[in-house]
Amino acid sequence: MYNSTLSPQQLKAVCADIKHVALDMDGTIYLGANLFPWTIEFLNSLKKAGITYSFLTNNPTKSVNDYVAKLKNLGIDATPQEIYTTAVATIDYIKINYPEAKRLFVLGTPSMIKEFEDAGFEMAADDPADRPDLLVVAFDMTLTYNRLCRAAWWASQGLPYIATNPDRVCPTDKEVILVDCGSMTTCIEHATGHKPDIIIGKPNPDMLRCIMATRGLAPNQVAMCGDRIYTDVATARNAGALDVLVLSGETTLDTAMNADPRPTIIADNVATFGSLLIESQR
């Protein structure tokens, strides 16, 4: 089942232009450690129709290689070029905007920190004498209180302050709330009065624009499909792409139908959207 703000004729025309689908991961193609039963068939149908896809995630806790391995374990063969995380986007942003920055204080998982180190950055210690060039706050599932306090200190000292993503919580299939980067930056703001200078991940459109530029695509040729209005749908709108909300993750149908503006397409899951997309291109 799906809903759309477009007429059937408009919807068919818009979907007929799509050449690439940017896919959120957790809550969209899998939930936690469980692949949705329709995901493989959906991806195969895109390949058969000549529609390319990529995986665009706000979750920086795993490196690109970790995500390749995770997807492989779930039965999806993905290449590193098909995966774009907020950790990679943050590295790109720092290199472009702060080319002299070398030493960082980072709240992040060991996997993410290694990705930064592999990119040439050094990690500052939890020490007021070891002043970093930049503060980076990410979704850190290994967070300790002392490091949170040190990050707050550096935020209060006026260092350039970058957050990888705005998500308040991370989707999970377990009976627990996974406190995400957006909640951590709110904590730091409450303690210091300082917000991040920039938040890299969705709804920042730069991640999606990078995919467009790399693949030579116009905005009307790209669909962004995810389970969150305030990240996935907003990213698509900010980049001028087609926004598709799936109800397999965080957002309920009632929330989606009452959103202002309402998502252009609201689908039960990616399989429903895939069927609509393939049918429109015949």
> Is the separation of the CB atoms in 23 and 48 below 8 Å?
no
Is pLDDT of 281 > 90? no
Which residues neighbour 214 within 8 Å (Cβ) at sequence distance 6 or greater? Answer: none
Q: What is the average pLDDT across 247-275?
A: 96
Average pLDDT over residues 58-87: 93
pLDDT band at 151 (very low <50, low <70, confident <90, very high): very high
Delineate the domains of the chain, giving CATH numbers in brackets.
Answer: 1-15+220-267 (3.40.50.1000), 34-201 (3.40.50.1000)
Q: What is the rounded CA–CA span in Å between residue 268 and residue 195?
A: 35
pLDDT of 96 higher than 90: no
Where would I find the H helices in the chain?
8-16, 39-48, 64-73, 86-97, 110-118, 145-156, 181-192, 206-215, 234-239, 253-257, 270-280
What string of DSSP letters covers 135-202?
EEE---TT--HHHHHHHHHHHHTT--EEES---SEE--SSSS-EE-HHHHHHHHHHHHS---SEE-ST
Q: Is the pLDDT of residue 1 over 90?
A: no
> Residue 214's pLDDT is what?
84
pLDDT in tens, 196-250: 999 999 999 988 998 898 899 999 999 999 999 999 999 999 999 999 999 999 8
pLDDT at site 33: 86
The pLDDT value recorded for residue 146 is 98
Read off the pLDDT of each residue in 163-184 and give the average, rounded to a whole number.
92
User: Is it the case that residue 148 has pLDDT exceeding 90?
Assistant: yes
Q: What is the pLDDT of residue 216?
A: 94
pTM (2 d.p.):
0.82
H-helix or E-strand spanning residue 3: strand 2-4
Q: What is the mean pLDDT of residues 102-111?
A: 97
Please answer whether residues 189 and 195 qualify as being in contact, where contact means their C-beta atoms are separated by less than 8 angstroms: yes
What pLDDT is attached to residue 227? 95
- pLDDT value at residue 213: 86
